[in-house]
Amino acid sequence: MTSQIKTDLDIDYRLVFLGPPGSGKGTQARLLASRFGMKHISTGAILRGEIDAGTCLGIEAKKYIENGQLVPDHLVRSLAENAIKSEDCKGFILDGYPRTIQQALWLCEFMDAEAESLTAVINLTISNEDVVSRLSQRRINSCTGENFHLSNKPPPQEQSKFIVIRSDDQPDAIRQRLKIYHELTHPLVEYYSKKKLLIAVDALGSFGAVNSEICRVLNFPG
Ligand code: AMP
């Protein structure tokens, strides 16, 4: 991959961002996708949109999300595949999909059928203690979806009426999400490592430092 130096700002890499809740993968994926002209595909954000719209899928998904559980595989599969298939999607960053080995197998099948393949999988690493500390201070703008952190990136005063705590950032749900991550999602590290796609990035540094490191390992312009 290091030989593919890209200088234009329309990068067609097909990336997966892996990492526990609170590793910052959503914030990094969103920024990199918009900067380099890739589509940011967050199954969590799509599911929250379904909940807000009161669809049948949203009503079903809400029960799992609020308890820190994964939404069943078959419910998220088509959300991810439809997003990848959409016309505005050449390069993409998948943020929060796949989350189980079953989802990874489906993704592989889907990419093969499209005669495409993943470029790389970025694994953002962080300890459980740092996850709990980050998530308990996370706030979100309910209109824009932008994330804030009470100490490191406090929400601007003028947005205060839109600032909420995600229901799955409550302490019990955080613990549950971490447990689920280690049981069901962490096995993907070995899965993608065996496929020689995995690149580990330490997620503990500042947002800018982690961002630069991701750009460096992907050979993106800094
Ligand atoms: P996120 O915004 O990525 O943290 O996702 C929020 C919640 O949505 C997760 O805790 C899961 O309940 C659900 N979710 C998002 N993506 C998936 C997925 N690929 N598989 C199952 N559940 C998902």
Q: How far is the CA of 44 from the centre of ligand 1 (A)?
A: 4
Q: Indicate the helix (H) or strand (E) that contains 207.
A: helix 207-218
Model pLDDT for residues 166-205, shown as the tens digit of each residue: 877 888 888 888 999 999 999 999 999 999 999 999 999 8
Which residues contact residue 21 at a Cβ distance below 8 angstroms, ignoring those fewer than 6 apart?
131, 135, 174, 177, 178, 181
Q: Distance (Å, rounded) from C-alpha 28 to C-alpha 12?
A: 17
Q: Average pLDDT of 27-46?
A: 93
**Given a cut of 90, is residue 155 above it in pLDDT?**
yes
* Lining residues, ligand 1, CB within 6 Å: 21, 42-44, 47, 64-65, 69-71, 76, 96-97, 99, 103, 168, 177
Helix (H, G, I), strand (E, B) or coil at 57: helix
What is the predicted pLDDT for the residue at 222?
A: 67
Q: What is the DSSP string of 80-127?
A: HHHHHHSTT-SSEEEES---SHHHHHHHHHHHHHTT----EEEEEE--
Strands 120-125 and 147-149 turn out to be unpaired
Q: For residue range 56-75, list pLDDT tens digits in order.
A: 999 999 999 988 899 999 99
CA–CA distance, 19 with 200 (Å, rounded to integer): 10
Contact 68, 174 (CB under 8 A): yes
Q: Which of 168, 177, 185, 186 to mutate to test the pocket of ligand 1 (most atoms within 8 A of CB)?
A: 168
Residues 6+ apart with CB under 8 A from 33: 39, 40, 92, 93
Q: If you search the block for the tokens 């740092």, which residue do you land on?
A: 130
Q: Quote the mean pLDDT of the chain.
A: 90
d(CA 44, CA 3): 33
pLDDT given for residue 89 in this prediction:
62
Which protein residue's CA is at the shortest distance from atom 1 of ligand 1?
Answer: 44
> Is the pLDDT at 3 greater than 60, yes or no?
no
- Model pTM score: 0.86
Whole-number Å distance, alpha carbon 221 to ligand 1 midpoint, is: 30
Burial 58-88 (b: 16+ CB within 10 A, else e): beebbeebeebbbbebebbbebbbebbeeee
130-141 pLDDT tens trace:
998 888 898 999
- Burial zone of 222 (CB within 10 Å; 0-12 exposed, 13-18 middle, 19+ buried): exposed
